[in-house]
A and B are shown apart, each in its own frame.
Chain A
Amino acid sequence: MDLIPLEHILLLSATLFSIGILAVITKRHAVVVLMGIELIFNAANLNLVAFSRYDPTLLQGQLFSLFVIVVAAAEAAVALAIVLRVYQYFKTANLNEVVTAENK
């Protein structure tokens, strides 16, 4: 049974992590920033699952990544509710415009 080298999985995870960071830094629409955060969550999960392969009787990494997925889902639900509320209030979801908007 040939296993995928651990370094390659970690490099993929690092690449996805930096793509997520790039999305969070450069994008100004709140929903795209959330997408970047989801990508960062996924990169972290990939590491946990990759190391869990070497721990097949306990599977601690897989259990941990399950809880990461649960917390990510809860975070996405609350964050999108906040984004919709902000859009109703300021009529824009652009973060820069929200920061500079006058308090009505």
Chain B
Amino acid sequence: MLFYIFAILAILSGAYMVLTRNLLYAGFSLLITLLSMAGIYVLLFADFIAVTQLMVYVGGVLVLLLFGIMLSSRVHDKSVLSESVNKIWGTLVAGLILVGLSYAILKANISTLPWLQTANLDVLGQQKSTVQLIGIKLMTDVVVPFELASLLLLMALMGAAYIATDKQNT
């Protein structure tokens, strides 16, 4: 039941993000979408992912986006409004993608997949949180992608700082 409330909230605020012309309203409706996604992650037994979603998306990416809005438009100006183009074609393409994906999902009978039937769901009830398991996995099975991710973040940090620096004043 809670899942459907979060799902409706996510879809409605996502739709408002597309429909509104004000950039700040779009940013804040994206905030509601991301928060309800975090709630859905909790309902799907992914507590660590939910907390990461809150910290990285809501706390980091969304603040970055709001900074981007503030710095790239004057708030009391018409530049804070974003115009829409290709409305008919865009709606058509997005609607066709939605219809195609929904048709595929409903046709596929995903619940009858063999490995989903044989999955041992009792483990879910016993383990209190996934944090310990994810920590062990990050240091053993996926340690190379983990280190590569840290390298990528360092590169992104330096690259973003270098790109955004005003070179005329140095």
Instruction: List residues of A whose CB falls within 8 A of some B CB.
Output: 1, 3-12, 14-23, 25-32, 34-36, 38-39, 42, 45-46, 49-50, 52-59, 62-63, 65-67, 69-78, 80-85, 87-88, 92-94, 96
Q: Which residues of B sit under 8 angstroms from A72, Cβ to Cβ?
A: 56-57, 61
Number of interchain pairs (Cβ within 8 Å): 244
Q: Which residues of A sit under 8 angstroms from B48, Cβ to Cβ?
A: 62, 66
Known: A29-B23, A38-B61, A74-B152. A55 touches B71 (CB 8 A): no
Q: Which residues of B sit under 8 angstroms from A62, Cβ to Cβ?
A: 46, 48-49, 130, 134
Known: A18-B98, A32-B82, A77-B157. A4 touches B137 (CB 8 A): no
B2 to A, closest residue via Cβ: A4
Q: Which residues of B sit under 8 angstroms from A23, Cβ to Cβ?
A: 17-18
Q: Are A63's CB and B134's CB within 8 A?
A: yes
A57 to B, closest residue via Cβ: B123
Knowing that A56-B123, A63-B142 touch, tell me 19 more A-B residue pairs with CB under 8 angstroms: A7-B105, A10-B110, A14-B105, A19-B18, A19-B94, A21-B90, A22-B90, A25-B94, A26-B90, A34-B68, A35-B26, A39-B14, A54-B121, A62-B130, A63-B138, A73-B60, A73-B61, A87-B72, A96-B85
